[in-house]
Amino acid sequence: MSRVDTLLAAPSNLNLLSEDDHAALRTLRCQPARESATAARILLRLALSAMTGRRIAPQNWQFARNDFGKPFVKDNGHGIDFSVSHVDAVVMIAAGRDVSVGIDVETVDQQLEDNVIDHFCHISERQVLEALPIMQRRRVFLEFWTEKEAYTKMLGLGHSLEFQSLSVLRSQEAGVDEPRVCTEDIYFSVDHSLYHAALVVDRKADHRPVDIQLVNVVLAGKGALTVSPAGF
């Protein structure tokens, strides 16, 4: 996890990007969106190299996409899966070995139309939300939203799944004591704005424990991230 401006502060970081990276970034006309996407690609390359003990240099990773647009490592002999999310000043990467991962991050206190909640929520979620005060309703909806985004990213299906058909309450409804898919909710603040991130991990059939490490990549001093992870 990092601030966008932290990653862009070092011009040498741009040398880590491939021609394919630069070509994709040139298609983004909005400067803040282009800067955020640039930072995400830089952080991804740094994170993947760190997972291999830098045996593979950041600039040497090559990527492809599946039919639904999910990026993956080409010629992946390391069993690495990853997921990328970025919004405003923040970029996050989830990466795991021999597990499937998905991550999504959103600003918490954003304005939402009521029909957005109706359109994207499962009926069980709408029942929960309708019982809440309006401000709390928006916040809980965004928790549901980030978990669904992270879950569909983990599956590699993106928005090809109807969000109305998915419920983040599914494990409670099914009475599952030890779900195969685990979710970690993380709240943190940047420049007086509150963010919520959801990390989803598929532990595979053997239910092996998953060791989650949260790594901050920030400049010291003003503007550093304050992170409060929930228990897993």
Domain ranges of the chain: 2-229
Beta strands, E only, the chain = 2-3, 63-65, 71-73, 80-87, 90-97, 100-107, 181-190, 193-202, 226-229
Mean pLDDT, the chain, integer:
81
Tell me the backbone φ, ψ of residue 15, rounded to 5 degrees: -70, -10
Other Cβ atoms less than 10 A from the Cβ of 208: the count is 10
214 confidence band (pLDDT: 50, 70, 90): low
Residue that is written with structure tokens 């490592």 in the block: 73
- Total-model pTM: 0.82
pLDDT, residue 43, reads 94
CA 107/CA 67 separation, integer angstroms = 29
Class of domain 2-229: alpha beta
Whole-angstrom distance, CA of residue 158 vs CA of residue 54: 30
- Please tell me the distance from the alpha carbon of residue 182 to that of residue 230, in angstroms, as a whole number: 12
Helix (H, G, I), strand (E, B) or coil at 209: coil
User: Which tens digit of pLDDT belongs to each residue from 57-75?
Assistant: 999 999 999 888 889 998 8
The encoded tokens of residue 46 equal 């740094």
pLDDT higher than threshold 60 for residue 106: yes
